[in-house]
Amino acid sequence: MKFYDVLASLIHDMKNSLSMVIHTLDEITADPLSGYDQPARITALQNEAKRLNNNLIELLTLYNIENERISPAIEDVDVANFLAEVMAENRSSAETNHINLTVECDPDLFGYFDENLIRNVLNNLVGNGIRYTRDRLLVTAAQEEGYLVFRVEDNGSGYPERMLTAHSPEGGYGDLAEGRTKLGLYFATMIAEMHRNGEQRGFIRLENGHGLSGGCFSIWLP
Amino acid sequence: MAPRIEQLSFLIVDDYADMRGVLRNMLQSFGVTDIDSVANGREAIAHIESKRYDVILCDYNLGDGRDGQQILEEVRARKLIGVSSIFVMITAENTLLMVMGAVEYEPDSYLTKPFTKDLLAQRLERLLSKKSDLREIEQAIDGRDYERANELLDQRIAENPRNLNEFIKLKAELALKAGAYDQAEAIYSGVLAQREIAWARMGIGKAYYGNRRYAEAAQVFQGLIDGNERFMVAYDWLARTQQALDEPEAAQKVLEAATAHSAKAVVRQRALGELALRNRDEKVAERAFSQAIRLGRHSIYKHPSIYANLARVKAVTSSGDAAMMVLRDLKKAYKGDKEASLYAAMTEAVIQEDMDHGERARKCMVEAHELYKELGTQAAPELALDMARTCNRMGETGRASELLHQAVKNNHSDELFLKEVGATMGDLGLAEDPHAMIAGITKEIVRLNNRGVELAKLGKLDQAMLLFEEAVNGMPGNKVVNLNAARIFMLHMNETGIEPELIAKVRDYLERVRQMDAEDRTLHKMQRMLNQLLQK
């Protein structure tokens, strides 16, 4: 058995376990008869389980990219529909964390990208956003300067100055072990750069105070 | 209007009892009441055979037995579910679709675990509205009524809907199916002028292939692979194109590369084995056929010829006894199947002959002749080639030659197959110039067909009928001749009224064609014509 097959089959198994954990927690919170009176602790468990799941996906995707086992499958995607699904995936999690999660997108917007890869990136960003924002998260998509731009914005305290300057691939990623955020950045950059159209290449950008008062993470896809 | 989720019937297929429970709870929270759930492919097929489900939620990974893709292939190929049913494949890993990606049947949607019930609801809503949006068009395509489907598509495209590309894509695919390659090429070029996109590039390659512009097609498919080395469909088409270009060695290399990326496709392993066998690369052939058998145990793509070929290869690479073991597996896997018994008999005859067991070999040969006769027009064209090779090896050269002539007559319009007949004739030394001989036969048949059609046009239906009846008797396995005969008989009855005896003949001809190629477009047209005639 090759390492990849072991990895894939273990991840498959772990995801089954995680599915069970996440769904059971969902059912407990949704069922008033379960008599559980400490929703904050359930929510904390849910957050951690989702984070674990996002980590697993990152792990497998990065392994695949590194070993050239993956190429983006660029398709024409109905962006409004796509974002509606991302919302649906994160709605209950935002609600239990008392965060107002909203989306803004032209209903007629179509884009060209790999739905699965970008979905993973957005799920990561929303998952992190839920932890770092004060009480709002805004996800938007728009056509700008010849790129399709996804933004995830919050009204938390924003990115620290050193991250705003040091996130570029040229600047390096610093010590990856320094924190999850940086691994997330690396992941998003890799996936953005896998999207190409002619000479153009995807990239990411970090800002503060774009639409909301906190951080704004954008992915630009050609 | 799309139906509401709670009105639909659901089948859940998952080997984890807990996961089945989770899915059931989700569906119940939407108000769904009609929910069945099963743990494996065998139960899934049994349920789908006996009940019509609106939605099937199927896990890809099901442990032993069929996997999710094999269930999908079986229910779609056997038409156990209609075009309006929704099949959702649930996977643990979303790169899976790229890894498989070579498949004829795709699910309506993939869902990656874990997903929230909100996402499931959102996805089902979207699929339902898409299905209801496309219902009429899909039904027309399913009934092979391409003219109607095209009309509907044009109407929708003229409305310039927000999902315009979806309709354009369908229209182009339809053009490919209908053999309107120039039209398909024009549509795909239009899309590509806007932006490079893989499905349109793939489509243009297929259009080139259809128009026999093989060199250009090969370039397109190679380009797609260079751009994305996991684009499995492009490998299959590149190999097919290289075969058309008479480059079997290159084609084999391409399929070897493809199976190194994605070993799971039975069809691809089989194609690789057959190529390697032709290229006398027994090592590769043995591996490919073994894989095809192992992977195909629960697949609709399993086929007795794969066993027969593996036996032939084993006779070369190891021993006659090893080959006989494979034939025993073949008989075990296909109890009571005539075609399989024929493959076993033919293959054994040669193996026994090679082991100097002349008497046993001749006994097998007698059995093979008997089975071949019994199969009649149901025998697949490729069987004729195998049978001819076998006869030739057993010293029955006259019969071998006869079989190949008949194969040409029965398949005069199938160029790729004729190429194989020619190669076989050459191999066996049965014709000095196989190509010229084949061309001679096909020209004669085309002339005959044209004369019949011409007679019909002139209103001389009686003469046309006589001509086609004779042609059908001489070439009972020829699709075009059968279809033409059916048409002329029906035209005749259109004028003179129903004759039960002729109706029976028409049904006979159409049934033969259905057995040869149920997808044939003219066949569906003729069937509609027959229905109209009977309704008069």
Q: CATH number, domain at B22?
A: 3.40.50.2300
Residue B476 lies in a domain: yes
Helix pair B214-227, B232-244: axis angle to 10 deg: 160
**Distance set, CA B364 to CA A120, B72, B350 (Å):** 60, 38, 9
CA distance B260 to B257: 5
A84 contacts chain B (CB < 8 A): yes
- Spatial contact of B136 and B152, defined as CB atoms under 8 Å apart: yes
Six token digits for residue A115: 């739905």
At residue B241, φ and ψ (nearest 5 deg) are: -65, -40
- For B121-132, what is the mean pLDDT? 93
Whether pLDDT at B476 is above 60: yes
What residues contact B247, with CB distance under 8 A and at least 6 apart? none
Amino acid at B170: L
Q: Chains A, B: CB contacts under 8 A, how many?
A: 99
pLDDT tier for residue B390 given thresholds of 50, 70 and 90: very high
- Spatial contact of B263 and A2, defined as CB atoms under 8 Å apart: no
- Spatial contact of B47 and B38, defined as CB atoms under 8 Å apart: yes
Give the structural domain span for B65: 5-132
Whether pLDDT at B63 is above 90: no
pLDDT at A153: 94
State whether residue B64 is helix, strand or coil.
Answer: coil
**8 Å CB contact of A108 and B113:** no
B130 contacts chain A (CB < 8 A): no
pLDDT tier for residue B100 given thresholds of 50, 70 and 90: low
pLDDT at B402: 93
pLDDT at B120: 95
Q: Which among A27, A64, A91 has the least Cβ separation from residue B95?
A: A64
Whether pLDDT at B283 is above 90: yes
**8 Å CB contact of B197 and A76:** yes
> How many C-alpha atoms does B192 have within 13 Å on its Cβ side?
16
Residue B482 lies in a domain: yes
**8 Å CB contact of B162 and A75:** no
- Mutation for testing the B interface, residue in A75, A76, A117, A130 having most B CBs under 10 Å: A76
- Spatial contact of B314 and B290, defined as CB atoms under 8 Å apart: no
Closest CA to B446 of B426, B475, B419, B420: B475
- Spatial contact of B250 and B258, defined as CB atoms under 8 Å apart: no
CA distance B289 to B277: 10
Q: Which among A53, A84, A112 has the least Cβ separation from residue B114?
A: A53
**8 Å CB contact of B16 and A26:** no
DSSP string, B216-245: HHHHHHHHHHHH-TT-HHHHHHHHHHHHHT
A6 contacts chain B (CB < 8 A): no
- Spatial contact of B384 and B404, defined as CB atoms under 8 Å apart: yes
Q: Which among B16, B196, B227 has the least Cβ separation from residue A16?
A: B16
State whether residue A68 is helix, strand or coil.
Answer: coil
In B, which residues are within 8 Å of A81 by CB distance? Answer: 126
In B, which residues are within 8 Å of A24 by CB distance? Answer: 22
CA distance A195 to chain B (A): 12
- Weakest mean pLDDT among B51-60, B257-266, B340-349, B506-515: B257-266
CATH number for B499:
1.25.40
Neighbour tally for B414: CB within 10 Å: 18
- Spatial contact of B179 and A124, defined as CB atoms under 8 Å apart: no
Burial of B194 (0-12, 13-18, 19+ CB in 10 A): exposed
Tens of pLDDT, residues B424-442: 999 899 888 898 999 999 9
B114 contacts chain A (CB < 8 A): yes
**8 Å CB contact of A89 and B25:** no
Q: Which residue of A has its CA nearest to B59?
A: A16
pLDDT at B334: 94
Q: Which residue of A has its CA nearest to B195?
A: A197
The residues in A 95-134 lying below 8 A from B, measured between CB atoms, are 107-108, 110, 112, 116, 120
**8 Å CB contact of B95 and A60:** yes
Domain total for chain B?
2
Q: Which residue of B has its CA nearest to A69?
A: B230
A91 contacts chain B (CB < 8 A): yes
Tens of pLDDT, residues B343-354: 999 999 999 999
B127 contacts chain A (CB < 8 A): no
Whether pLDDT at B94 is above 80: no
What residues contact B39, with CB distance under 8 A and at least 6 apart? B13, B14, B15, B17, B20, B62
Residue B260 lies in a domain: no
pTM over 0.90: no
pLDDT at B90: 92
Residue B372 lies in a domain: no
Strands B86-91 and B55-59: parallel
B160 contacts chain A (CB < 8 A): no
pLDDT at A170: 45
Residues of chain A with pLDDT under 50: 169-178
B199 contacts chain A (CB < 8 A): yes
Amino acid at B284: V
H or E, element range at A138: strand A136-144
- Spatial contact of B340 and B309, defined as CB atoms under 8 Å apart: no
**8 Å CB contact of A19 and B113:** yes
Last residue of a domain, one of B132, B154, B170: B132
**Distance set, CA B505 to CA A198, B435, B476, B480, B485 (Å):** 59, 34, 12, 15, 9
- Mutation for testing the B interface, residue in A4, A17, A18, A19 having most B CBs under 10 Å: A19
A65 contacts chain B (CB < 8 A): no
Per the model's pLDDT, the better-predicted residue between B478 and A176 turns out to be B478
A140 contacts chain B (CB < 8 A): no
Please measure the distance between the N-terminal and C-terminal CA atoms of chain B and give it in whole angstroms: 34
Domain boundaries defined on chain A: 3-66, 75-221
- Spatial contact of B411 and B478, defined as CB atoms under 8 Å apart: yes
CA distance A11 to B257: 27
Amino acid at A2: K
Six token digits for residue B133: 């949006």
pLDDT at B491: 92
What residues contact B64, with CB distance under 8 A and at least 6 apart? B40
CA distance B254 to chain A (A): 18
A11 contacts chain B (CB < 8 A): yes
Classified by CATH at the fold level, domain A75-221 comes out as Heat Shock Protein 90 (3.30.565)
Number of alpha helices (DSSP H) and beta strands (DSSP E) in chain A: 6, 9
Neighbour tally for B119: CB within 10 Å: 22
Residue B54 lies in a domain: yes
Residue B210 lies in a domain: no
Last residue of a domain, one of B132, B164, B196: B132
CA distance B396 to B349: 13
Whether pLDDT at B95 is above 70: no
Residue B357 lies in a domain: no
H or E, element range at B172: helix B164-177
Six token digits for residue B21: 């429970």
Q: Which among B22, B162, B163 has the least Cβ separation from residue A23?
A: B22
In B, which residues are within 8 Å of A5 by CB distance? Answer: none
Last residue of a domain, one of B105, B132, B159: B132
